[in-house]
């Protein structure tokens, strides 16, 4: 005896019959009733969506297609989800959210070329709309999808620069240069270096930073040739010698490491670092005679060198503490000014009178930060010659910090003037910080890197 069809089956048959007669709205109603009995029936929902498209009900069809697409994606059926969203893209070719979803689905399924093609459409849409923030986010996603794509990295670096995000721009240029260095593309690297000099004339150590990133990233073998070229060009830069030492340490090549220390000493015979490093090499080789001879040479000029070393170490430690104190004060002032501008605007938008003033808590915290920085700067009156440029950059940073304090203590009379002055002061402060970081000799850079692990407020410096 035949089993009677279920209510759902009868509704599906009715929908098909109505659709065949051209009664599309009634057919859709039947499919909807069938779905109400079994909401998870994706096949029925797919037929309903296609029927709604034929009936000219695009908005309703979209809702159904999106439900289907989310179901497939949620269950890992990315190819099926992509096919559904491709149908949606045909229905709504101008809707950028559909294209973005397609890009993400292709990325999740590992279809790099397809993902980049979809992301490119989204990027171009935001670029045409002058929505720089969203355009940059999409470019960053494209870089994540294909991290070795030179053209994407270059576009992202240039776009960051155009958007005023100079730190992000420079960091991306460094990663791009590292990639070109690894590939041995000398011509492209030369063009990139020329571009860097145009955009960042203050960045005189660009190639050194590129090579340092390679060494830190585990590709010391690829960096050695470039470091050697820098030393041939300027053997009086201690940072390059220290990087060469770091490279040979990473490569575990003790003989070459010892040779580098010997050459280093020829250019800096009174420097403690190469002597100490060479002594460590001799000890590791159990070369007692050589070690004692070097130790005797150190002792001969020992008292002066030791005292000089101690003074320099004290200066380095205090310098980084001063940077931290200045940054904390500047961050505090900028946070306050941002809140002040927001409160002022909110009051203006509602027609209320607003009187800008500093609250007691903020004022107390600001005074504490300023006093702490002042005491540390007082300790830096005696500047070792090798740190004179770094000290001048620290003084410039202090000048910009004091300008932020003055602005917070006496805000301008209008919101527009406050906003303009705050943005200008923020830019000049940021520039001073960038110039300071670019001027740091190796010991100061190392101390700053170490301090970032101790002082949370320095993590983003």
> Tell me: the pLDDT tens digits for 85-97?
898 888 888 889 9
Q: Is 200 left (phi over 0), alpha (psi -120 to 50) or beta?
A: beta
What proportion of the chain, given as a percentage, has pLDDT over 90? 7
CB 205 within 8 A of CB 241: no
30-44, 55-69, 285-299: least confidently modelled range? 285-299
Nearest-angstrom CA–CA distance, 372 and 457: 15
pLDDT at 1: 42
Residue with tokens 């002792």: 299
Spatial CB neighbours of 166, under 8 Å, sequence gap ≥ 6: 160, 200, 430, 434
176 C-beta neighbours (distance < 10 Å), count: 24
Q: What DSSP state is assigned to residue 3?
A: P
> Among 15-19, 44-48, 118-122, which is the least confidently predicted range?
15-19
Task: Quote the pLDDT of residue 8.
Answer: 65
Give dist(CA 190, CA 176) in Å, integer: 12
Q: Residue 294 above 80 pLDDT?
A: no
The packing angle between helices 360-378 and 302-349, to 10°, is 160
pLDDT tens column, 247-277: 998 998 888 888 888 888 788 877 878 878 8
More confident residue, 77 or 2: 77
Helix or strand (DSSP H, E) at 28 = helix 24-37
Question: Residue 292's pLDDT is what?
Answer: 55
Q: Could you tell me the CA-to-CA distances from 319 to 379, 398, 461 in Å, in that order? A: 9, 12, 14
Structure tokens at 221: 């073998």
The answer to whether the beta carbons of residues 101 and 114 sit under 8 Å apart is no
Element (H, E) at 263: helix 254-267
* C-beta separation of 328 from 370 below 8 A: no
pLDDT of residue 306: 40
| CATH superfamily of the domain spanning 1-91 | Tetratricopeptide repeat domain (1.25.40.10)
| Residue 182: predicted pLDDT | 79
Name the H helices within 92-237. 96-108, 112-128, 132-145, 150-162, 166-183, 186-199, 206-216, 220-233
- Find out whether 433 and 461 touch, Cβ atoms under 8 Å: yes
Six-digit token string for 284: 């590791």
pLDDT value of position 73: 86
- Coil, strand or helix: which one is 354? coil
Is 80 exceeded by the pLDDT of residue 421? yes
pLDDT bracket for residue 442 (50, 70, 90): confident
Contacts within 8 Å (CB) and 24+ apart, 285-291:
285/254, 285/258
| Ordered alpha helix ranges (H), 129-165 | 132-145, 150-162
Residue 302 has pLDDT above 60, yes or no: no
Ordered by start, the domain boundaries in the chain are 1-91, 304-458
């Amino acid at each position: 005896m035949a089993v009677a069809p279920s209510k759902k089956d009868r509704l599906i048959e009715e929908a098909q019959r109505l659709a065949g007669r051209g009664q599309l709205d009634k057919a859709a109603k039947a499919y909807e009733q069938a779905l109400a009995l079994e909401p998870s029936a994706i096949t029925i929902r797919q037929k309903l969506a296609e029927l709604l498209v034929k009936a000219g009900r695009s908005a309703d069809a979209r809702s159904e297609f999106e439900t289907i697409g989310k179901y497939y994606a949620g269950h890992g059926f990315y190819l099926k989800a992509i096919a559904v969203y491709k149908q949606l893209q045909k229905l709504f070719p101008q809707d950028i959210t559909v294209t973005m979803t397609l890009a993400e689905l292709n990325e999740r399924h590992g279809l790099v070329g397809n993902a980049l093609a979809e992301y490119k459409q989204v990027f171009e849409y935001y670029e045409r709309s002058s929505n720089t923030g969203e355009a940059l986010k999409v470019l960053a996603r494209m870089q994540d999808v294909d991290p070795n794509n030179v053209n994407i990295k270059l576009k992202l670096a240039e776009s960051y620069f155009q958007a005023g995000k100079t730190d992000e721009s420079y960091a991306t240029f460094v990663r791009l240069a590292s990639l070109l260095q690894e590939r041995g593309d000398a011509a492209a690297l030369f063009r990139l270096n020329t571009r860097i000099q145009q955009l960042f004339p203050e960045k005189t150590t660009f190639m050194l930073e590129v090579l340092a990133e390679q060494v830190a990233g585990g590709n010391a073998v690829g960096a050695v040739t470039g470091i050697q070229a820098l030393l041939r060009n300027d053997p009086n830069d201690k940072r390059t010698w220290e990087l060469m030492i770091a490279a040979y340490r990473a490569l575990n090549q003790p003989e070459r490491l010892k040779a580098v220390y010997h050459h280093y000493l020829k250019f800096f015979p009174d420097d403690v670092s190469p002597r100490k490093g060479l002594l460590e090499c001799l000890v590791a080789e159990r070369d007692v005679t050589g070690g004692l001879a070097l130790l005797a040479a150190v002792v001969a000029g020992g008292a002066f060198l030791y005292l000089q070393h101690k003074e320099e170490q004290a200066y380095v430690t205090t310098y980084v503490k001063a940077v931290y104190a200045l940054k904390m004060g500047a961050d505090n002032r900028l946070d306050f000014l941002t809140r002040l501008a927001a409160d002022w605007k909110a009051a203006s938008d509602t027609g209320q009178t607003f009187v800008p003033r500093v609250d007691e808590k903020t004022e107390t915290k600001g005074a504490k930060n300023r006093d702490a920085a002042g005491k540390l700067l007082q300790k830096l009156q005696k500047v070792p010659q090798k740190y004179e440029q770094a000290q001048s950059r620290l003084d410039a940073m202090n000048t910009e910090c004091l300008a932020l304090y003055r602005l917070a203590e006496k805000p301008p009379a209008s919101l527009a003037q406050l906003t303009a002055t705050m943005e200008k002061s923020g830019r000049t402060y940021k520039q001073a910080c960038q110039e300071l970081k670019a001027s740091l000799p190796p010991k100061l850079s190392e101390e700053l890197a170490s301090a970032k692990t101790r002082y949370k407020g320095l993590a983003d410096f």
